[in-house]
């Protein structure tokens, strides 16, 4: 019987682990973490399966999940897999237009929503969207719109699954499931335009599990994993499914902005994150060093130097550190490094997968120097996440690791990375032409990323379609410059402008708190942020810092002019995707006046 692996995963784990804890979620009323056992998890999943059958959900029908991270997202996913339904996750911050587009495109009849914001958006969209029949609400404190008699709270939905007579139908559907079934449609938020629904079949996840077994050898039942990125993101989704397969405990962080607090409450052994998380940790440590004086400052700086020599210059390059260095490293490991890890909340750390954007080398060096096992990797929605990753003791600074087992890689035109293997999508939902452009007849997928291999490690150089050409015919890779700049503690967000322009300029969102501190320390009077950012001293401060950071770039790649913005880039104005990537075309439109001003003679 070749049923799909995920359709019975939770039930199989419950037979193995019973009353052991599978999940935890934070109860905000009591500030405590509520455990859910494997048995409870399995029971919920089976109820969801029966309730979906009661609602009349068909095999391979698309159902939507529009919520921030909650245990209910996982109950719904696995309950759907049990009856061969397809789950389509939507980012919790999606706009009405995005929700409307996805519901129409995937012809979704049943939409599960998390909190008040998602319900309000969904109920407004329901009037415009003829496919949507019913909204099911996870959070029982959500107030339904006046006259809404059709929406269901999750507990009432689950009550439909109390009818055990439906189990026979569920069992039949599970038995008919196969790896060739569609599991998810994940809509990429697209920095360049319209969303595309990436189809991931059960076979993609099964192949991904198999590949990771060979690489992530230390992950297991003893691990406590924090879910911090949205489940809608392939990185967190595939990782969470894999952690459940390994028997880890998942701790579900509801609100991304609470991570500094919740990570200290949970003290996880693993957590996948984007580089921004570590950039903020690095900036915080530099800040601390800057505020310190005397012996303490000397020790902190020496600890970083010793860590780099021990872990990077020697161990990373396969060499044995000399005895004296080993002794110093041991001393700092017991004092400074362990205190730092404790302060972040990761003193129990096993390893920390990081991907989703380029990791600034300074940040990566720092993380490895203090003995945090960051595992850098590379992947796309279309590749079911991981294409390549480093491993503990097997990494190179600046690289995205070794290719995963089972994947083939070759380089195409402009050094584009082409991939082939079982984890690759079979295409975009209802978009044949775009699928034909992305996938060759013989199964090679065009990633749109350029790179090269060295000593078995993959390095990324740029997004091919993001290369800018100046009016002088020079090519600029904006990400390379942005990655370098965003390490600075005064810079929060940056977007490089250069395409068809005489020189490189930048729109910069400063770290406002840092700028205010600087103004206070230097007695700079101002009325508001806009006024402060125009002050000569502040302009000079940024000019100096940019000059220092860009020394290694060729003259034509360097930022000549910049504009400091008094407000951050925002999703509401369409400037950021749901994964917080910058939408360059929107910025060009929204900041046209500011950009033109930088190019005035």
Where is the domain boundary, 243, 271, 299?
Answer: 271
Res. 24: pLDDT tops 80:
yes
Which residue among 240, 271, 302 closes a domain? 271
pLDDT, tens digit, 9 for 90 and up, residues 113-131:
999 999 999 999 998 888 9
Average pLDDT score over residue span 329-333: 97
Distances in Å between the Cα of 549 and the Cα atoms of 212, 377, 485, 542, 559 are 37, 25, 7, 11, 10
Residues 142 and 115: their CA atoms lie apart, in Å, by 6
Would you say residue 594 has pLDDT above 80?
yes
pTM, to two decimals: 0.86
Q: Which two tokens stand for residue 538?
A: 């502040």
- Is the pLDDT assigned to residue 276 strictly greater than 70? yes
Express as a percent the part of the chain with pLDDT over 70.
99
Residue 192 has pLDDT above 70, yes or no: no
Helix ranges (DSSP H) in 529-590: 529-534, 536-549, 584-590
Give the per-residue pLDDT at 8: 97
Confidence of residue 461 (pLDDT cuts 50, 70, 90): confident
Q: Is 28 exposed, middle or buried (0-12, 13-18, 19+ CB in 10 A)?
A: exposed
pLDDT band at 49 (very low <50, low <70, confident <90, very high): very high
The confidence score (pLDDT) of residue 189 equals 65
Give a yes or no: residue 517 inside a domain: yes
Distance, in Å, from the CA atom of 510 to the CA atom of 375, rounded to the nearest integer, reads 29
pLDDT band at 313 (very low <50, low <70, confident <90, very high): very high
Domain for residue 536, yes or no? yes
Q: Which residues pair with 199 in a beta bridge?
A: 185
Q: What is the pLDDT of residues 481-496, one digit of tens each?
A: 998 898 899 999 999 9
Q: Pick the last residue of a domain from 271, 295, 313.
A: 271
Q: Which residues contact 100 (CB under 8 A, 6 or more apart)?
A: 125, 128, 129
Flag whether pLDDT at 225 surpasses 60: yes
Whether residue 492 lies inside any domain: the answer is yes
Instruction: Give per-residue pLDDT as tens, 166-187.
Output: 999 999 999 999 999 999 999 9
Q: What CATH number corresponds to the domain at position 60? A: 3.40.50.12780
CATH of the domain at 561: 3.30.300.30
The pLDDT of residue 342 is above 90: yes
Compute the C-alpha angle 375/381/387, nearest 5°. 40
Is residue 307 within 8 A of residue 369, CB to CB? The reply is yes
Residue 89 lies in a domain: yes
Structure tokens that stand for 398 in this block: 């600046």
Question: Quick count: other Cβ atoms within 10 Å of Cβ 477?
Answer: 19
Whole-number pLDDT of residue 193: 57
Domain limits at 206? 5-271
CA dihedral of residues 227, 232, 235, 236 (deg, nearest 10):
10
**Structural contact between residues 26 and 32, judged by C-beta atoms closer than 8 angstroms:** yes
H-only helix segments in 451-535: 478-485, 512-521, 529-534
Helix (H) or strand (E) holding 37: strand 32-37
Task: Tell whether 230 is covered by a domain.
Answer: yes
Number of domains in the chain: 2
Which tokens hold the place of 513? 């708190």
- Whose CA is closest to 253, among 282, 225, 294? 225
pLDDT digit string, tens, across residues 33-46? 999 999 999 999 99
The encoded tokens of residue 218 equal 């230390």
The answer to whether residue 394 sits within a structural domain is no
Give the per-residue pLDDT at 30: 94
What is the pLDDT confidence band of residue 190, given thresholds at 50, 70 and 90?
A: low
User: Which positions ≥6 away from 24 have C-beta within 8 Å?
Assistant: 33, 34, 35, 36, 249, 250, 251, 252, 266
210-213 LR contacts (CB < 8 Å, sep 24+): 210/405, 210/406, 211/386, 211/404, 211/405, 211/406, 211/407, 211/423, 212/242, 212/386, 212/404
Residue 344 belongs to some domain of the structure: no
CA distances from 9 to 12, 14, 58, 199, 373 (A): 5, 9, 21, 21, 29
- Are the C-beta atoms of 131 and 93 separated by less than 8 Å? no
Strand partners, 391: 394
Label residue 477 by pLDDT band (50, 70, 90): confident
CA 203: distance to chain centroid?
22
In a domain, 350, yes or no: no
pLDDT (0 to 100) of residue 1:
55
Share the mean pLDDT of the chain: 94
């Amino acid at each position: 019987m070749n049923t799909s692996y995920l359709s019975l995963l939770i039930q199989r784990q419950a037979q193995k682990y019973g009353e052991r804890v599978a999940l935890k979620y934070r109860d905000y009323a009591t500030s405590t973490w509520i455990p859910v056992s494997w048995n409870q998890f399995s029971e919920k999943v089976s109820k969801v399966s029966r309730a979906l059958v009661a609602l009349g959900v068909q095999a391979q029908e698309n159902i939507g999940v529009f919520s921030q991270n909650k245990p209910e997202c996982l109950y719904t996913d696995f309950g759907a897999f049990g009856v061969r339904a397809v789950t389509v996750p939507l980012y919790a911050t999606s706009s009405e237009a995005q929700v409307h587009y996805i519901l129409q495109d995937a012809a979704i009849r049943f939409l599960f929503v998390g909190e008040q914001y998602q319900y309000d958006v969904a109920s407004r969209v329901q009037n415009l969207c003829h496919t949507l029949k019913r909204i099911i609400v996870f959070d029982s404190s959500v107030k339904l719109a006046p006259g809404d008699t059709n929406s269901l709270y999750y507990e009432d939905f689950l009550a439909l699954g109390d009818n055990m007579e439906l189990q026979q139908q569920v069992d039949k559907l599970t038995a008919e499931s196969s790896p060739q079934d569609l599991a998810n449609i994940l809509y990429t938020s697209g920095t360049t335009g319209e969303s595309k629904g990436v189809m991931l079949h059960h076979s993609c996840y099964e192949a991904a599990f198999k590949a990771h077994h060979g690489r992530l050898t230390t992950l297991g039942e003893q691990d406590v994993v924090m879910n911090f990125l949205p489940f809608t993101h392939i990185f967190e989704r595939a990782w969470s499914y894999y952690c459940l397969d390994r028997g880890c405990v998942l701790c579900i962080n509801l609100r991304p902005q609470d991570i500094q607090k919740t990570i200290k409450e949970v003290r996880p052994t693993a957590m996948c994150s984007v580089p921004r998380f570590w950039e903020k940790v690095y900036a915080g440590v530099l800040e601390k060093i800057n505020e310190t004086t005397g012996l303490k400052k000397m020790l902190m700086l020496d600890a970083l130097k010793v860590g780099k020599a021990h872990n990077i210059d020697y161990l990373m390059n396969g060499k044995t550190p000399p005895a004296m260095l080993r002794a110093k490293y041991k001393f700092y490991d017991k004092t400074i490094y362990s205190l730092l890890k404790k302060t972040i909340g990761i003193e129990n750390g096993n390893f920390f997968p990081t991907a989703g954007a380029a990791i600034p080398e300074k940040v990566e060096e720092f993380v490895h120097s203090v003995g945090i096992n960051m595992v850098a990797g590379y992947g796309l929605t279309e590749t079911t996440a991981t294409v390549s990753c480093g491993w503990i003791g097997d990494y190179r600074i600046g690289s995205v690791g070794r290719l995963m087992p089972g994947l083939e890689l070759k380089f195409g035109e402009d050094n584009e990375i082409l991939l082939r293997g079982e984890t690759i999508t079979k295409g975009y939902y209802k978009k044949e032409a775009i699928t034909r452009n992305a996938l060759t007849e013989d199964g090679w997928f065009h990633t749109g990323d350029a790179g090269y291999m060295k000593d078995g490690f993959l390095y990324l150089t740029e997004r091919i379609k993001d290369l800018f050409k100046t009016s002088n015919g020079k090519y600029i890779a904006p990400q390379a410059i942005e990655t370098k700049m965003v390490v600075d503690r005064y810079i929060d967000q940056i977007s490089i402008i250069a395409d068809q322009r005489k020189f490189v300029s930048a729109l910069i969102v400063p770290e406002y708190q840092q700028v205010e501190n600087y103004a206070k320390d230097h007695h700079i009077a101002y009325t508001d942020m806009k006024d402060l950012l125009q002050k000569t001293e502040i302009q000079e401060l940024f000019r100096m810092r940019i000059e220092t950071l860009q020394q290694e770039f060729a003259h034509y790649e360097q930022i000549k002019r910049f504009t400091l913005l008094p407000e951050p880039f925002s999703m509401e104005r369409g400037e950021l995707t749901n994964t917080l990537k910058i939408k360059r075309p929107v910025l060009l439109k929204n900041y046209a006046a500011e950009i033109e001003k930088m190019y005035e003679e």
